[in-house]
Structure 1
Amino acid sequence: MEANMRLGIPTVEGRGRYGGGGRCYRRRGSRYGYARTPSNLRPIPRYEGRVSKDYSPPSLVLCNARSIGNKTATLRDFFISQGVDLACVTETWVREGDTVTLREMAPPGFSVLHQSRTVGRGGGVALLIREDCSFRALPSPSIPGIECVGLVWGSEVSLAVWLVYRPPSAPAATLSGLLEAVAGWALEFPNLLVLGDFNIHADATPSSQALDLVSSMATLGLSQFVSGPTHQAGHTLDLIFGVGIDVIMFPSMKVPWSDHYALKARIDVPPPPCLGGEPIWARPRRLMDPDRFRQALRDLAPPGDSLTELVEGWNTQLLAAINEIAPKRPLRPRRNRAPWFTEELRKMKRDLRRLERVWRGARDGASRTSYRVFMKTYEMAVKAAKKSYFSASIASASSRPAQLFSIIRSLTSLEGQPNLNNNWTHSCEAFASFFAEKVLLLRHDLPANFDTIKELEAPRLSSGPVLDHFDRISPADVDRLLRAGKPTTCPLDPCPSWLIRACPDEVRAPLGDIINLSLGTGTFPGELKEAVVRPLLKKTSLDPLDLSNYRPVSNLPFLGKVIERAVAEQLGRFLDETSALDPFQSGFRAGHGTETALVALTDDLRRQLDRGGSGLLILLDLSAAFDMVDHELLDHRLADVGIQGTALQWLRSFLSGRGQRVALGGELSSRHSLVCGVPQGAILSPMLFNIFMRPLAQLVRSFGLGCHQYADDIQLYLLMDGHPDSAPDTLIRCLEAVAGWLRGSRLKLNPSKTEVLWLGRDDMRLRGQLPSLAGVQLVPAPSVKSLGVIFDTSLSMEAQIAAITKAAFFHLRQAKQLAPYLSRPDLATVIHATVTSRLDYCNSLYVGLPLRLTQKLQRVQNAAARLLTGSSLRDHIHPVLYQLHWLPVEYRIRFKVLVLTFKALYGLGPSYLRDRLSWYAPQRNLRSSNKNILKVPGHREVRLASTRARAFSTAAPTWWNALSQETRALQDLTSFRRACKTELFHQAFGQGAA
């Protein structure tokens, strides 16, 4: 009865079969029944949650795989056939990092938690759990001689599950350590399962170790549920202990692929809400035919005249058209299926099951051998099918990085995003309140001060060019705006965005009318000011119960983004023509990037160290910078750069009256208004933020400090000569002014996360303390990370090289595991996306590094080349790189510097790099006058040989001048890249290389 109460079965149950005064009777339609008096009946409380009609308690399987490497498809099919929610596998024999093999074993829609053996081969335990079940991984304790992995399974009652493997050679003392751990688990988790292969004989005549283990578990409140043998030798080695939960055991199953039996059980826990799924109302993708959609649009009446009527008519007509061709239907969630599983594989799977039934009936060696031989054939066919499918997928996604990384993650990632729809996580209202209140609390701590009021009361004077309106767009512009960007669809959109893009002739006129009326009236449609936010866990290792571990990902209506794109083109063109933005702001600007910002920064620092001076680098951290932008202050700063009239009115309309809802589990939260900030996910937001931050760099440079910005990443640096005893007064006053400006701009400075790096010789360090920032004492760190690059006190790049090589080799090992499923071109695509991209990121900072450091990078490239070509370690690497047409690392660095130089010289890069280069102009007319030669700084400007080899301002002109005159004369970027690579390739492999 207790089990029925937990399962919510709406029945009435008697207290006992006999002794209640009932009498036996016979009725029509049944063999027999029992009458009971009402006094012997009691009601069973009904479970109040929403439960699927076909709900059954979750089930688990425990098996010993004896190496999963040669039977991944067989194990996956076994788990699917058993319909399990949790699979517990011991003896995986999988080494740490081999995620591909584990992913192969997991059925579609399952996450994997694995703990490998730390020393030696064999061992390993894995938990496979459905992703639609709420769970979180538990940190694995260190128990000598024991391997274990655990999770908390969330429903109405959270259940902790620990899978344990104890090797046969483990001494008896290991059980004592295990019991100590179980005692701690039992105190922490009232509902606990401990199961696995304990390798002790808990038979009908158990050993002393088994008696001690079972009795000790009993004293901790854990009951043992397994009875009968679990090994083909007749011993009971696999055990299941539990407390606070009922475990219903099924008969053990003999399997032909292991010497252990497979154990199956049902866990008597309350069902999570909505398990089994309420019907999902969705439009069938197969019915969304663009031709039918075009015809439906032609039959619709034109909308009204005002902007509101135009937008409402647009939404109404598109909704009517999509309802006509693909109306929403109730669709129940289907079980995830492997897309590569073909009909031929299904037939082979049926034949394999037939051979298994033959073995179960015969129980002889011949039938077992037949089964295992065909199992190997089946495993090979599965791998061939996966190779064909994923090769085609990777080939189609080679030019789309996001989709390519998604495919790679599907092959290698063991854990997905946690399911937020179950009852132990949070509701959409909870997320919506948290995201809104977070900004409001930060803003409450930053009331408008005197500086804010002073700026708002200052007259708006703009003496330069002005942008007082946005020009109307042509039909050709509408087509271009439709094709630009990704066709992402917001839940508030009336129909999928890709369908709109597929019908340019039908939507061109109404879309152009909406955009031009919006630009002409200076109004952004209010219907498009709402964002739908989806919570995204920042890292899968973080606690899903903590709301602060989630990042809000905003999605805006497609029509609003098209209008934004029309404004962004004109606003960006105005800002570029008037040089309104700070030249050292590199975020979200064409030709600018993280690498250009870091090249300029390191060039200044290296030149300072060359002069015998020192430097101080300060990396400021802002909290929720985009969300904290004050609209009134932004309005003033827009006017300062020359935006007036209807253009300014349109931007005000774009920012005001905005709101957001959180989408979760098919539901939308209530609307929360946004009183500040630039909308996340909007096309205009980065541009508006750059305008808002424009005065900061001017303020910093007024104190003699340097300042680089990449969006909200701010780098301040002070160059100092001599041996200062204490921080210069300019630094103290500058930091006070920066903190005051940020406070006046109502931006939240996070001084505890602000990092400081001292650069220079140890004997030149400041003897006194650094100044404080917003009341927090600044302390220099041995290294800091800025824009993905690690800097140390001497700019040696050792820590950066170590981090890059470690990450690259990790992805290279994953690529090796994927190699059996990929063709060579597809494997090359994966290697370039995951390994080569890391070697090339900011590699212009590696100029002039010692050979011992560049060799580390070269080893990564060599390993990648050998993997791609199948070459052995005995093969010389130069012919392999030559065959692949890969530039060695040293020449890749030189190539990157030369490309940055070309872009800077011809206006394709930032001005702060162009200012470091100058054309060579001899005092008298020489043959070298017209050969596009750059001036190389002399020895008076750069004294140290190491600096001459490493600073961009000296290495770039030196390498540029070494190029052939024909290459230097090119003015097209594509032609220059091609010619430059060919020339460097000849230098690396000889003039005979092609």
Structure 2
Amino acid sequence: MHLDCTRISQSNSDFFIQHDLGFLCICESWIPFGDTSSLLELIPPGCSCFNIPRSRGRGGGLVVVFKSSFPCKQLTPTMSFSSFELCLFELCISPRLLVVLIYRPPKTDSNFLNDFCDLVADCILKYDYVLFFGDFNIHICCPDNVLAKGFFNLLESFNLTQWVSSPTHARGHTLDLVISYGLPITNLVTLPPVFSDHSPILCDVTLPCPVPVCEAPATRFRALDAETISKFVDCMSVRLETFNPDPSNVDHYSQHFDVLCNQVLDVVAPLKLCKSRPRREPWLSDVTRACRRACRSSERKWKKDGLQVSRELFRASLVAYQDAVRAARMAYFADIIETNSNNPKILFKTLNSVLVYQEPSTMSPTAAGNSEAFHKFFVDKVSGIRAVISGNSVDPVPVPPSPPTLSSLNTVSYSELSKLVARQKPSGSPLDVLPPRLWKAAFPCLGPSLGQIINGSLSTGVVPAALKAAVIRPTLKKPGADVSVIENYRPISTLPFTSKLLEKVVYQQLVSHLADSDLFEVFQSGFRSGHSTESALLRVLNDIYLSLDQGTSVLLLLLDLTAAFDTVDHAILLDRLERWVGIKGSALDWFRSYLQNRTFCVKLGDVFSSWEGLRWGVPQGSILGPLLFAIYLLPLGSIFRKHGLSFHLYADDCQIYSPLCQEKGHSIQSFVSCVNEVKSWLMSNYLHLNEGKTELIVFHPNSRNVDRYADLGPLSPYSKPVVTSLGVKLDVGLKFDAHINSVIRSSFFHLRRLAKIKHMLSRAHLERVLHAFVISRLDYCNSLYAGLCQSTLRRLQVVQNSAARFLTGTRKRDHISPVLASLHWLPISYRSQFKILVFVYHFFQGGAPPYLATLLNRHSPSRALRSSDQGLLAVPRSRCRTRGDRAFSVLAPLLWNQLPPSVRLSPSLPVFKNHLKTHLLRLAFPEHV
């Protein structure tokens, strides 16, 4: 409960007893140092209190009264704040709860938001549950209040919830707030002012309870260790000497090979039933177990004889055991981090296993009906979409001239296949006869037979039936979605390991054919070397910034397709491959075999659904599926160009944008005409536009033009103030507030979790994990942050500063610049410059995406100058600092030309990155580098 008193009196004690409060948080207590009589008058029987008087002057002061039955401990702030008074105390329960009482004087202080941001960052890094009470003196009831806007933006950044919605002051404003992190607030009541002109606030806080750990069901597994693998290789080598099925029938050969592998595996590693047991620490070894036995033995001896010498022996053995566990644990995590430093998925899974964090990904498979329900839902969803679409066999887009042909697929050599297997991720399917890691470990023995299957498939144009069976794993579309709602899941196919190898071989040849023949859509950034979501967004935003710089509003439409991969028509896809891509002969036969007669089932836990034929679609989770879908969409580019609209594709993500300029024929009507033709094309190709998730946003050159295009006609239902494009949230002002809030939330979530295992990791490995979970989030598409105001970037800088202090153990009072310099971490603003300059270097080396390369022009002086051979770029002119100056075509040349020649003329990319980072570090930390 929170109370703003202005002065303490006996009535406060009566109020505490009358409402049977557990806690009473008081602002403006006006109790000076040494005034114990006022405190004695305030504290009811059986209660205690914390008192924080104002250090100087009259007024102010904070008091917390609480029942003595609550185990509370007052904390000393790690830093001092000039903009507000602060009282911190911890409720020592499990898990711990931090309570923060704040009083901010009415006088405006420009440092408040920065101070409060630092306080919140420090609190949520150490605690999973935090409560903030106090008189903030911010008019949050006034939406146009600048301080209120910044305050709410800060709350959203840290995922804090503010619960007070009614006035708390006699003049009708909401000044006293209740804010929580990770906790729900219930029964919040604002009472009429009693003790001052502020209203008392009553509320209930539900304390967190430990989540029970559910017992896992029994599973069947094979015990595979080094000795078992060695036995498998020896036995398989003997059996392969007499293994001679007809290699020309690749399907028959594959079936017999699977049977042989299964027979040998049943001999050396038969399936065993593993019952659920309490989870064992994975780092325990024979050495640690021996130390534990010695420790328990010495403990029993001491308890039996009670001698001092036995006690000392027990203490020594206990220390030895603890040291052994600590060393084994650090070695365990070091091995995982060293092996999977570039695989955040494995690191995240390992972190979850240590923290016993059970994030539900699918509904509980307690009954076989769940898998059948998912099976029926996925089948009915696609059938329903196909039923409402009147597909048209006549494609409205004319076919381009005959492209170069690819008539056959090349076979692979043993050495090429060996490299492919070594690089392939060890992920497979429940249908795998051999686990992927066994394929890798036993490849010298299995390689020739595997090559026979893959090369037989490539040469005959036949894909074995066993490689076309997929097991569907339902996966939540969005984190935090309701796991009990079946519509919140998407079907992800898990395919056999050998199927992925075969697809990888074909994928490499198909990509090479598309690139060599210039058949890729120029504005398709998926599946292309040197292209990324960041390069795609750089081009899109460059065009938008330039249009805004010319005083023109811009319309951006993000199309969303329902179950796009699952409704692809096989006949149309094969026609695209033949007429648009030039796939002929046995190569086309292979793709036809790949698409036809595919089957799938759904697996939840150990329960499989019935099998179903896959009549349409390309499998999500496969290697070829996304690329085939991109080929399926090739005609779309012709429609956009016909209407003069700009567009960009990334796999199935499609965005259309255009300036709204009547003089150039770019109007809402022309945009609507293009969208209607796109809808018609989608229907003729059995693709369904999701009207509910398709988003539109209008960017305006300034706030005065916001209502200029208020009437969007048929596009009005799609209009949103914030849209998400390739993982980046775009707002109408292009300030990236919503996106930065999301980055801050996720970063502190992972920082808080890493704090729980920090003691298990060495500093070097902790830094790697920090880069995987936190710094990577700060770096995702960070080139888009260039040109943002410093107040916006500072919020991201708080995350990096917290990560640096977390890694080094630096106190909050110590200056952060020496810490960042010692870690060689560039600040946020310089990191964005670094990324942009790397794109420019790729341009000079010929590796930049064509759509970015066309934005840059080499500097060509009108007469011979010494600067003509310095690798400079021409800098276009722009009008507005917040618009045109942020465009890649303007900002990139400007930053590039400011580099020293020794950096610009670096001979290779690694050398350039090294020189560039050193240069930027000197600019960022001139006194420390």
* TM-score (ref. length: structure 2): 0.72
In structure 1, what is the equivalent of residue 774 of structure 2? 835
Is the 1:726–1:768 contact (alpha carbons within 8 Å) kept by the matching residues of 2?
Answer: no
Change in Cα spacing, 1:411 to 1:659, as seen in structure 2 (3 Å) is: same
Letter in 2 for 1:302: F
* Partners of 1:984 and 1:350 in 2: CA distance: 57
TM-superposed deviation, 1:972: 2.5
TM-superposed deviation, 1:446: 1.2
In structure 2, what is the equivalent of residue 203 of structure 1? none
| Paired residue secondary structure (1:830) | helix
* Partners of 2:94 and 2:393 in 1: CA distance: 69
TM-superposed deviation, 1:967: 2.8
Alignment of 1:302 onto 2:243? yes
1:341-380 → structure 2 map (5 Å cutoff): 342-343=288-289
In structure 1, what is the equivalent of residue 870 of structure 2? 931
TM-superposed deviation, 1:516: 2.0
TM-superposed deviation, 1:908: 2.4
Alignment of 1:94 onto 2:37? no
Q: Which of 697, 700, 714 matches 1:772?
A: 714
Change in Cα spacing, 1:781 to 1:379, as seen in structure 2 (3 Å) is: farther
Letter in 2 for 1:659: T
Change in Cα spacing, 1:353 to 1:613, as seen in structure 2 (3 Å) is: farther
In structure 1, what is the equivalent of residue 552 of structure 2? 613
TM-superposed deviation, 1:693: 0.9
1:175-254 → structure 2 map (5 Å cutoff): none
Alignment of 1:445 onto 2:385? no
In structure 1, what is the equivalent of residue 540 of structure 2? 601
Change in Cα spacing, 1:68 to 1:348, as seen in structure 2 (3 Å) is: farther
* Partners of 2:748 and 2:857 in 1: CA distance: 40
Is the 1:387–1:822 contact (alpha carbons within 8 Å) kept by the matching residues of 2?
Answer: yes
TM-superposed deviation, 1:354: 8.1
* Partners of 1:419 and 1:691 in 2: CA distance: 32
* Partners of 2:794 and 2:412 in 1: CA distance: 54
1:99-138 → structure 2 map (5 Å cutoff): none
Q: Which of 980, 986, 990 matches 2:916?
A: 980
In structure 2, what is the equivalent of residue 485 of structure 1? 424
Is the 2:661–2:667 contact (alpha carbons within 8 Å) kept by the matching residues of 1?
Answer: no
In structure 2, what is the equivalent of residue 553 of structure 1? 492
* Partners of 2:719 and 2:404 in 1: CA distance: 44
Is the 1:349–1:378 contact (alpha carbons within 8 Å) kept by the matching residues of 2?
Answer: yes
| Paired residue secondary structure (2:873) | coil
TM-superposed deviation, 1:91: 5.9
| Paired residue secondary structure (1:778) | helix
TM-superposed deviation, 1:748: 1.0
Is the 2:548–2:884 contact (alpha carbons within 8 Å) kept by the matching residues of 1?
Answer: no
1:539-938 → structure 2 map (5 Å cutoff): 541-639=480-578, 640-721=580-661, 727-760=667-700, 761-764=702-705, 765-767=707-709, 769-772=711-714, 777-937=716-876
* Partners of 1:277 and 1:987 in 2: CA distance: 58
Q: Which of 372, 379, 386 matches 1:429?
A: 372
Bigger relative contact order (CA 8 A; separation at least 6): 2
Is the 2:469–2:495 contact (alpha carbons within 8 Å) kept by the matching residues of 1?
Answer: yes
* Partners of 1:845 and 1:787 in 2: CA distance: 13
Q: Which of 281, 284, 289 matches 1:338?
A: 281
Is the 1:587–1:593 contact (alpha carbons within 8 Å) kept by the matching residues of 2?
Answer: yes
Change in Cα spacing, 1:117 to 1:460, as seen in structure 2 (3 Å) is: closer
CA-to-aligned-CA distance 1:874-896 (integer Å, 9 cap, x gap): 32222211111111222211110
| Paired residue secondary structure (1:751) | coil
* Partners of 1:737 and 1:405 in 2: CA distance: 44
CA-to-aligned-CA distance 1:270-300 (integer Å, 9 cap, x gap): xx9xx8956x432112376333222122112
Change in Cα spacing, 1:412 to 1:598, as seen in structure 2 (3 Å) is: farther
Change in Cα spacing, 1:666 to 1:762, as seen in structure 2 (3 Å) is: same
Letter in 1 for 2:282: P
* Partners of 2:333 and 2:463 in 1: CA distance: 44
Alignment of 1:471 onto 2:410? yes
Letter in 2 for 1:406: K
Change in Cα spacing, 1:962 to 1:520, as seen in structure 2 (3 Å) is: same
* Partners of 1:816 and 1:696 in 2: CA distance: 48
TM-superposed deviation, 1:868: 1.6
* Partners of 1:330 and 1:299 in 2: CA distance: 29
Q: Which moved more, 1:347-356 or 1:798-807?
A: 347-356
Change in Cα spacing, 1:794 to 1:277, as seen in structure 2 (3 Å) is: closer
Is the 1:584–1:912 contact (alpha carbons within 8 Å) kept by the matching residues of 2?
Answer: yes
Corresponding pairs, count: 750
* TM-score (ref. length: structure 1): 0.68
TM-superposed deviation, 1:623: 0.9
CA-to-aligned-CA distance 1:788-840 (integer Å, 9 cap, x gap): 21212232223333332343334333333433333222221222122211211
Letter in 2 for 1:680: Q
In structure 2, what is the equivalent of residue 961 of structure 1? 897
* Partners of 1:739 and 1:384 in 2: CA distance: 62
Unaligned runs of 5+ residues in structure 2 are 1-68, 75-91, 100-118, 135-160, 165-177, 188-201, 305-313
Change in Cα spacing, 1:422 to 1:585, as seen in structure 2 (3 Å) is: closer
* Partners of 1:544 and 1:737 in 2: CA distance: 37
Is the 2:471–2:495 contact (alpha carbons within 8 Å) kept by the matching residues of 1?
Answer: yes
TM-superposed deviation, 1:619: 0.9
In structure 1, what is the equivalent of residue 906 of structure 2? 970
Letter in 2 for 1:771: G
Change in Cα spacing, 1:425 to 1:348, as seen in structure 2 (3 Å) is: farther
TM-superposed deviation, 1:606: 0.6
Is the 1:613–1:722 contact (alpha carbons within 8 Å) kept by the matching residues of 2?
Answer: no
In structure 2, what is the equivalent of residue 29 of structure 1? none
Q: Which structure has the larger Rg?
A: 1
TM-superposed deviation, 1:353: 10
* Partners of 2:440 and 2:329 in 1: CA distance: 33
Identity %: 36
* Partners of 1:65 and 1:402 in 2: CA distance: 41
TM-superposed deviation, 1:708: 0.7
TM-superposed deviation, 1:150: 13
* Partners of 2:282 and 2:617 in 1: CA distance: 43
TM-superposed deviation, 1:396: 4.4
Is the 1:707–1:716 contact (alpha carbons within 8 Å) kept by the matching residues of 2?
Answer: yes
* Partners of 1:65 and 1:704 in 2: CA distance: 69
| Paired residue secondary structure (2:757) | helix
* Partners of 2:322 and 2:413 in 1: CA distance: 59
Is the 1:847–1:950 contact (alpha carbons within 8 Å) kept by the matching residues of 2?
Answer: yes
CA-to-aligned-CA distance 1:104-133 (integer Å, 9 cap, x gap): 99xxxxxxxx9876769xxxxxxxxxxxxx
| Paired residue secondary structure (2:225) | helix
* Partners of 2:532 and 2:333 in 1: CA distance: 33
| Paired residue secondary structure (2:97) | coil
* Partners of 2:355 and 2:625 in 1: CA distance: 34
In structure 2, what is the equivalent of residue 53 of structure 1? none
In structure 1, what is the equivalent of residue 191 of structure 2? none
* Partners of 1:291 and 1:385 in 2: CA distance: 26
In structure 1, what is the equivalent of residue 885 of structure 2? 949
* Partners of 2:427 and 2:299 in 1: CA distance: 44
Letter in 2 for 1:93: R
Alignment of 1:410 onto 2:350? no
RMSD: 4.5
Is the 2:183–2:207 contact (alpha carbons within 8 Å) kept by the matching residues of 1?
Answer: no
* Partners of 2:216 and 2:686 in 1: CA distance: 48
1:161-180 → structure 2 map (5 Å cutoff): none
TM-superposed deviation, 1:936: 1.5
1:8-23 → structure 2 map (5 Å cutoff): none
